[in-house]
Amino acid sequence: MSIDDDLVEEIAKKYGYRPYMIKRYLEMFGKEETVKFLEANEQKLIPSLRCNTLRIDEEDFVNLFTKKNFVIEKISGISYGYRVFKTPFPLGATNEYLLGFYFLQSEASMIPVQVLDPKPGEIIIDLAAAPGGKTTQIAQFMKNKGVIVATDINRKRIKSLRSNLSRCGVYNSLIIRMDGRQISDLGIQADKVLLDAPCTGEGLIPRDPTRKTSRELKDILYLSDLQKELLTAAIQCLKPGGSLVYSTCAIAPEENEFVIDHALKNEDIQVKKMDFNRGSPAFTDAIFGKTLHPSIKEARRLYPHKDGTEGFFICKLQKVS
């Protein structure tokens, strides 16, 4: 596809992005949708939180918050999720936060665990788990029964993971500081795996505009390789028939569809339809010169201009044999 360089420069200058990003957006979305996407990235997203029922009953939480003049609204289709419209105090420093009654978590990032659907008593692996938003959500679904093996490689972030799990009353986790690519060495066979993969975070621009210029194409390619390796390792420690959710807050196909396509070609897995109706189907037509497996269309992409969330990608996989 031929992209007009002058148009790329003009849009990049107007919105403050690196030109290579604009060029890619134009190829992915076309001009009209690219502008809608960039405009939406300039808007603040509605903050959200997840009520932590390991610490407080959901009805009591709503009553407590209403009494304290918070204005919240239940997010449809996401268990325990609330949008926050008015806060008398900063949400990260209330007594209720310290009591672990809620976790500050974006709407999109609550979806992977909802799709994974952890059950009490299962063994779940959460790779790249820090700072623990999704780990605490998994424990909540499991009612603290079963085991979550939560790994992260970063020394600083794993401290924050431990603190968050403690604050939220998560008592069924086994935290291990390690490179997730070596997870199969542990000899654990999991019922389910969550891989919320390290990514460029290109979808987070509405929250962090520095990401308009802080990443280069080589970062996308580097992370794409890492994501493929992590997904391969994650599949290896999954029981036959077990399910895996892969997600990122990136919008580059190299970090999402290409990673799934690579796994479909090399591992005994299949894409599963998600019981979740939001977002747009993932790319399957030729994109950046690559034709992808048609089943990838069951994966979902979320965008700020269409879904009111940060950019996000979610795919559910099942181990076949």
Partner 1 sequence: MITFRLSTQEELKFIQNAIDKLFGEKIAEKFIQNKHLIIGEGKWKEIFLVSDKMITILEAMANKKQPYSLGMQIGELDKNKKFKLSLEAVFEIVKFTSHLIKLTAKGAQTILYGRNISFSQVDKICYDDAKEGDYTILLDENGFPIGLGKILHDLAKMQLIRFKICIKNIIDLGWYLRKGE
Binding site for partner 1 (CB under 8 A): 55, 64, 93, 95, 98-99, 121, 123, 131, 145-147, 149, 158-160, 162-167, 169, 171-178, 185-188
| CB closer to partner 1 out of 24 and 167 | 167
Residue number, 108 or 158, with CB nearest to partner 1: 158
Six-digit token string for 223: 């992370």
Residue at 184: amino acid letter: S
Nearest to 127 by CA among 181, 55, 205, 73: 181
How far is residue 263's CA from residue 197's CA, in Å, rounded to a whole number? Answer: 14
Pick between residue 44 and residue 93 the one whose CB is nearest to partner 1: 93
Question: How far apart are CB 118 and partner 1 at their closest, in Å?
Answer: 14
Give the count of beta carbons closer than 10 Å to the beta carbon of residue 44: 7
CB of 169 to partner 1, least distance (A): 6
CB of 318 to partner 1, least distance (A): 23
- Within the chain, residue ranges assigned H as helices are 5-15, 19-29, 31-41, 58-67, 95-98, 111-116, 133-142, 155-167, 217-236, 257-266, 304-307
Catalytic residue among 51, 168, 199, 249: 249
Residues composing the chain: 321
Nearer to partner 1 (CB atom), residue 112 or residue 131: 131
Find the helix or strand (DSSP H, E) in which 269 lies.
Answer: strand 269-272
Taking the complex as a whole, how short is the minimal distance between the CB of residue 202 and partner 1, in angstroms?
25
Q: Which is nearer to partner 1, 115 or 142 (CB)?
A: 142
> Do 231 and 180 touch, CB atoms closer than 8 A?
no
**Least distance between partner 1 and beta carbon 190 (Å):** 10
Please provide the DSSP assignment of 80-92 as one string. TEEEEEE-SS-GG
Helix (H) or strand (E) holding 239, with range, is strand 238-248
Active site annotation includes 249: yes
**What is the closest distance, in whole angstroms, from the C-beta atom of residue 176 to partner 1 in the complex?**
6
**Residue 121 CA to chain centroid, in angstroms?**
24
Residue 168 CB, nearest approach to partner 1 (Å):
10
For the chain, how big is the Rg over CA atoms in Å? 20
Please give the full DSSP string across 90-152, using - where no structure is assigned.
-GGGSHHHHTTSEEE--TGGGHHHHHH---TT-EEEEET-TT-HHHHHHHHHHTT-SEEEEEE
Cα(124)–Cα(152) distance, integer angstroms: 15
Which residue, 146 or 304, is less far from partner 1 as judged by CB?
146
Which residue lies nearer to partner 1 by CB, 163 or 280? 163
Residues with a known catalytic role: 249
